[in-house]
Structure 1
Amino acid sequence: MKSYTAKLSLLAVVTIIISLFSTSMEAQDTGENHKIVFQLTDNDVKSQKALTNQLKNLTESWPNAQIQVVVHSAGIHYLMKEKSGFKSEIEALVKKGVEFKACENTLKSKEIDKLEILEVAGFVPMGIGEVVLKQEAGWSYIKAGF
């Protein structure tokens, strides 16, 4: 009877150790298999702040994730040198691997020169088209803001 109880206790301890190991393995996800595209289309400072915070959280938790932010329509101010309230945050995020893309159609329709956009940002011909291409390629889509 004592050997049965000892075996049962040992089995319980081993089960607990295995479950703890499994949980810690899940918590160590660095994001290397995650591809995320954000779409920012409005000039609301609260939405831009929320986006910036979400990007910070993602890059801290998943440093190896691929992240792209496509900015178009009224959201273009987020990437403008003279209008963005998030220049230093955007530059820090770029250093962590986040890509920011400004829509050339938006620039053309709003008569904004590419030189007015932060140097760390890139360009795409059509913002909504870029979002579609990313989704078709398997990227997760997140609408920036609330």
Structure 2
Amino acid sequence: MKTLKTITMLFVTALLGATVPALAQTKDPSVFHGAEATKAHYKAAYQLDSEEPDKIKGTLRNIQNALDDPRLKGKLDLELVVHGPGVAAFRKDSGYEEMVKKLQDRGVTLSMCENTMRERKISKDELFPFLSYVPSGNGELIIRGQEGWTIIHP
């Protein structure tokens, strides 16, 4: 009897597993336009810990895309938390100053990890003059995450 019950449960589970995705796929894709931004406010912290130009450009572009999303207009608090090799994005000689400054002008907080600066012997004079500083990038992300911020690591 126990075996019959087990087999029946497996059959029902398999049947539901095959049916539910099929039902989801019958929705008209031309009607779906993404999630609705039903909250009054959204908070996200972007983590940048890479010196790879494609990663830096991609992260900055992702932030720009979030700012330009019509669903999120006027509803965003964004922070870019840079640590480790990501410091390359904030160096005066990096070529990213214009992109980074535009993000700040749109309200993005630009946070540089002081631990990284100390470990790599980097002075504030080597970095953009308009940055904010946090004791540790990881600490900032931990605190933000516990405050309900979405942590994005492109």
Counterpart pick for 1:33 among 4, 29, 41: 41
Structure 1: give runs of 5+ residues left out of the alignment: 1-19
Secondary structure of 2:130's aligned partner: coil
Structure 2 partner of 1:51: 59
Task: Calculate percent identity across the aligned residue pairs.
Answer: 27
How far is the alpha carbon of 1:107 from its aligned partner?
A: 0.2
CA distance in 2, matches of 1:76, 1:88: 16
Structure 1 partner of 2:80: 69
Structure 1 partner of 2:129: 119
Q: 1:32 to 1:76 in 2, by over 3 A?
A: farther
Aligned CA-pair RMSD? 1.9
Q: How many residues align?
A: 118
Structure 2 partner of 1:7: none
How far is the alpha carbon of 1:120 from its aligned partner?
A: 2.0
Whether the 8 Å CA contact 1:70–1:130 is kept in 2: the answer is yes
Instruction: Please tell me whether residue 99 in structure 1 is matched to residue 99 in structure 2.
Output: no
Whether the 8 Å CA contact 1:30–1:63 is kept in 2: the answer is no
Structure that is richer in helix per residue: 1
CA distance in 1, matches of 2:150, 2:129: 26
Whether the 8 Å CA contact 1:32–1:66 is kept in 2: the answer is no
Instruction: Please tell me whether residue 136 in structure 1 is matched to residue 146 in structure 2.
Output: yes
How far is the alpha carbon of 1:63 from its aligned partner?
A: 3.3
Q: Which amino acid aligns with 2:107?
A: G
How far is the alpha carbon of 1:60 from its aligned partner?
A: 1.1
Structure 1 partner of 2:50: 42
Deviations 1:15-68 (A, max 9, x none): xxxxx9xx8xx4xx4975110001111100000111111111111112320000
Poorly superposed stretches of 4+, deviation over 4 Å:
29-32
Q: Which amino acid aligns with 1:42?
A: S
TM-score (norm 1): 0.75
Q: Which amino acid aligns with 1:36?
A: A
CA distance in 1, matches of 2:60, 2:136: 22
